[in-house]
Chain A
Amino acid sequence: MKETQEEAASQTNLLQGTLDLLILKALALGELHGLGVARRIEQITRGTFQVKPGSLFPALHRMEESGWLSSAWGESENKRRAKYYRLSKAGKRQLAAETAHWQRISLAIASALSAT
């Protein structure tokens, strides 16, 4: 019991910020439900990030409340009701801003690591 909780917590910490960016990116290509978001992230990171529901759903709800995402009930591929998320205008702006931010950081880190 304890292990899973602590693991989940550390993963959240690791992904804080990164996870938001990945979710925004995943949804930039079109609307998705929760599992779809997780699978899309796995796909676009080539399996590096496996997003657990314990991190995914709180993030989705938080981002929706921040106004970056909007949600609507729709029908899934298996004809079930599922909640679909899509980027709002604010979300698109946020994606652009975070992408620029992230590129600055990764550039800086890369140059720091290649310095001799």
Chain B
Amino acid sequence: MPILPRLASLWRNLSRKAGVERDLDEELAAYLDLLAEEKMRMGMDPAAARRAARIEAGGVEQLKERVRGARIGAFADTLLLDLRYGARLLARSPGFAAVAVLALALGIGANTAISSVIYGVLLRPLPYPEAGRLVMVSRHFARSTFPYGNLCLADYLDWRAGNRAFEDPAAWNRRRFDLTGATEPEQVSGAEVTAGFFAALRVRPLLGRVFGAGEDGPAKQRLAVLSESLWRRRFGGNPGVIGQAVDLDGNRSTVVGVMPSAFHFPRPDSEVWTNLVFDAPTRRGPFFYRGLARLKPGVTLTQAQAELDAIARRIELADPRTSHLTFPVVPLREAIVGDARPALLVLFGAVSLVLLIAAVNVANLLLARATAREREMAVRLGLGAGRARLLRQLLTESGLLALLGGAAGVAVAALGLALLRAWNPGNLPRIQEVHLDARVLGLTLLVSLLTGILFGLAPALQSSRADLAPMLKEGGRGNSASAGSRRTRAALVVAEIALSLLLLAGAALFLRSFVRLQQVETGLLVPAARVLTMQISPSAAKYRDDKSRIAFYDRLLERVRQLPGVAAAAVSDSLPPDREGDADTYVIAGRPLAPGELNPIVSAPTVSADYFRTLGIPLLKGRLFDERDKLDAPPVAIISEGMARRDFAGQDPIGQRIKRSGPEFSASPYMEIVGVVGNTRYLGLASALDAVYYEPLPQNAGRKLFLAVRSAAAAASLAPMVRREIRTVDQDAVVTAVATMEQALSDAVAQPRFRTVLLAAFAAVALLLAAIGIYGVIAWSVAQRTHEIGVRMALGARRSDVLRLVVGQGAHLALAGIGLGLAGAFAVTRVLANLLFGVSATDPLTFILVPLLLAAVALAASLIPAQRAAMIDPHVALKYE
């Protein structure tokens, strides 16, 4: 078939449409004339002949429509026409258009944003070659509260010695380094790593090299790899940095390489990696290290686990004190993002519900409009429009709406993502890597189109079924077709209410849980805004041993106490609510444990004498630490009330003796318990663990300590003065994490706050959409029943009767939706159980209040049209007929 004439015709049809149409008009007019003439020649009079010709031709408009349909480019042509018509219709009812587009934009936008986060965080492969083979190895033993605890170096060496399943087993320890030298001292985040670390990840340096095999272990030269950001910031991006020395925690280290800025492991802010220099371990502990390795090709996770299980058995056999030891192997991605998954999946469920509600709402609006257009459709059918042609037009219109919604949704999603990233909620892993993904975007467009087609279909089918005769006869008040539509719309609204209830119930549970979390007794009696905290590390070069460091902190505390407005000051290696220092298990004098038995691992902060007074932790029994508790004095400890209850129920804990457990402490003396203080938490607010024992600073001094300063008024303003005092005592001290206790408490609930705020926002959107849905249905039904209501009022119904009638209709819908939603919510909220704190997934208060709220909103939404109905003037209503 020749292509050229077809293209020419297509061009002509699309570009010179008016001319083509005129041609067609003339051609058909000539045809009718010729036909009539023919009939006149056969003896008919002119008027009869013309009428007969017209009847034989069967409707000029229908004829034209058929010719148009046969033309090339008819599809594109009508699409353009429909789009233009659809756009005009939307512009003519801006309220309808705005509500529909807004609903879709919110649904699609929220969905795209959360899907992008889920894809970026949970699904996207880690940015390393063959990342699927990377695994994390950790340690778990009986009674330990941590399923994925840290390894010790002896574990790592045993693993490496027995390894056959892994390429490049490595151990690493995340830590912060004080970087001192030529310029301003600063603290940088980084890690100590064994040689296998970079090899396992298969990353290449931007400059220089990474650590080679054999560059870790005893008596090795200290090396450092810098991040690109640190290299640019401190060394001006000078390639000559390779071979230079930097001071990290007072250790002179040689820079061997620079990593590109895309490398963020183990943390997004990691800026320096040092080779792990260690002496051959003499015991199992301390447990500071994570295992990282790449599975050999073809080795499964199960095989790798079996190998590590065998290694664990050998360790148990060699040391009877260990029992139930395992080294769990998990994929690296799982280890990084596993904790974030449940909350993200809940949010994904929530946004899916929002999209569903939005789509139902739009379907509802389309249906309402379809009813209003029944007459138009009937007339067009009568004028010769084909049914398929009408269907196509209606689908084009709903598709247009969906695409507009989709476009606005992309904007909403981009905005939402930007907000999420700026907010950087409670250490959500990989959030920096999240961006609007092309695939997610494509999916969104598909979803929005499908939404349009799917939810445009029902109303479109209904409209195109419209029957001409009754429609025109009844003056557009069509009742027969409306009955089905009324039922459909009612069902849609019921579904909408039910779905909203699901969301509201989830949000309410999160909200209640969050409030509970914030009400957790911190155990601190001083108002949190009056306590300023910061972390200090004195320069490692000047303060080499415990004695000099204790002297440093003593001098500093002395000076800080002199500052105006300071009521008390103390240093410690831990701070509530979650800045944990040391944690260890312990033994009690005179109470031997069975082999393999352990007391729980509890927080063991080291604190200076004024610590309890500074934070407001009350003394319940005995005494606090004081100047008696020097380095060479008899060791003492203070325990928390929770530990006293757990271990010394019915006895006097004062005078009892405890010490750290483990073979390395077998020679160390017991500490005598001298006091009992109130409970406070060091492992986060949600932690149930309230057993704590404190040791006095001089008897166990760490290198980096927290300074806590209590002021008479708001403490934030003290920060500059305190910094100045620190500078005076030690020029090179590094000060970080300056925050009031209030901020620290708020940060501690950042993740629950994140999911609570998001879920609450989604629920609010759902509630709004449901309210619009109910309002729409009731208002439409009032408009349809104007005549009926007029008759009722003419027959003596009072305004209150009308009000009751209309509101009753809304109440029916609300009740049905709430019933359905409650059943669903009871089934669904159980999945939230693990994310809740202090609230059960079937919390009665939630399940009473949420339906009440929804019912109230439903009533309010039907009250407006009800009042309008009550205002109907029977005279006008009946004349309107």
Contacts and interface: CB of A to CB of B under 8 A. Distances in A.
Interface in B5-59: 5-6, 9, 23, 26-28, 30-31, 33-35, 37-38, 56-58
Interface stretch (B68-76, B247-255, B431-439, B649-657): B68-76
A66 B31 contact: no
5 contacts: A5-B386, A33-B34, A54-B66, A66-B6, A67-B4
A106 to B, nearest CB: 24
Contacts of B67: 57-58, 61
A78 B70 contact: no
B34 A80 contact: yes
B230 interface: no
Contacts of A80: 30, 33-34
B750 to A, nearest CB: 67
Contacts of B35: 35
Interface string A74-109: 001010111100000010000000000000000000
A113 to B, nearest CB: 32
Interface string A28-57: 000001110000000000000000111001
A14 to B, nearest CB: 16
A61 B70 contact: yes
B189 interface: no
A34 B56 CA distance: 14
A100 to B, nearest CB: 17
A66 B72 CA distance: 9
A15 to B, nearest CB: 14
A4 interface: yes
Nearest to B69: A58
Contacts of B63: 53-54, 57
A52 B59 CA distance: 12
Contacts of A53: 28, 31, 56-58, 63
Given A35-B35, A81-B30, A54 B58 contact: yes
B663 interface: no
A59 B71 CA distance: 9
A61 B68 CA distance: 9
Contacts of B37: 78
A83 B58 contact: no
Interface string B465-500: 000100000000000000000000000000000000
B468 A1 contact: yes
A81 B31 CA distance: 10
A90 B2 contact: yes
Contacts, number: 76
Given A1-B382, A67-B2, A83 B23 contact: yes
Interface string B486-520: 00000000000000000000000000000000000
Interface of B: 1-2, 4-6, 9, 23, 26-28, 30-31, 33-35, 37-38, 56-58, 62-63, 66-67, 69-72, 382, 386, 468
Interface in A1-35: 1, 4-5, 8, 33-35
Nearest to B382: A1
A69 to B, nearest CB: 10
B28 A65 contact: no
Nearest to A66: B1
Interface of A: 1, 4-5, 8, 33-35, 52-54, 57-59, 61-62, 64-67, 76, 78, 80-83, 90
Contacts of B31: 33-35, 53, 57, 82
B2 A58 contact: no
Contact of B30 (A5, A62, A64, A82): A82
> Which one of A34, A65, A80 has the greatest number of beta carbons of chain B within 10 Å?
A65
B5 A34 contact: no
Contact of A59 (B26, B28, B33, B70): B70
The 3 closest A-B pairs by CB, nearest first: A67-B5, A58-B70, A65-B9
Contacts of A57: 27-28, 31, 63, 66-67
Contacts of A62: 70-71
Contacts of B468: 1
Given A52-B58, A58-B67, A83 B30 contact: yes
A54 B27 contact: no
Majority DSSP secondary structure for residues of A touching B: helix
Given A1-B382, A65-B5, A90-B2, A78 B34 contact: yes
Given A35-B34, A52-B58, A54-B63, 10 more contacts: A33-B30, A33-B34, A35-B38, A57-B67, A64-B9, A65-B71, A66-B5, A78-B37, A82-B27, A83-B23
Nearest to B3: A67
Contacts of A83: 23, 26-27, 30
A69 B70 CA distance: 15
Contacts of A5: 386
Contacts of A65: 5-6, 9, 71-72
A76 B29 CA distance: 13
Nearest to A52: B58
Contacts of B26: 81, 83
Nearest to B2: A67
Contacts of A82: 27, 30-31, 34
A4 B58 contact: yes
Contacts of B57: 53
A76 B34 contact: yes
A35 B72 CA distance: 23
B21 to A, nearest CB: 12
A61 B71 contact: yes
Contacts of A76: 30, 34
Contacts of A58: 66-67, 69-70
Nearest to A34: B31
A108 B727 CA distance: 108
A78 B5 CA distance: 32
A5 to B, nearest CB: 8
A67 B4 CA distance: 8
Nearest to B27: A83
Nearest to B4: A67
Nearest to A94: B1
Contacts of B71: 61-62, 65
B790 to A, nearest CB: 34
Nearest to A65: B9
Contacts of A52: 58
A68 B93 CA distance: 47
A53 B66 CA distance: 10
A58 B30 CA distance: 16
B545 to A, nearest CB: 97
B14 to A, nearest CB: 12
Contact of B62 (A33, A54, A61): A54
Contacts of B27: 34, 57, 82-83
A81 B30 CA distance: 7
A14 B628 CA distance: 112
A97 B5 CA distance: 20
Contacts of A33: 30-31, 34
B8 to A, nearest CB: 9
Contacts of B5: 65-67
A8 B56 CA distance: 12
Contacts of B30: 33-34, 76, 80-83
Nearest to B33: A80
Contacts of B58: 4, 8, 52-54
A65 B31 CA distance: 20
B77 to A, nearest CB: 13
B653 to A, nearest CB: 95
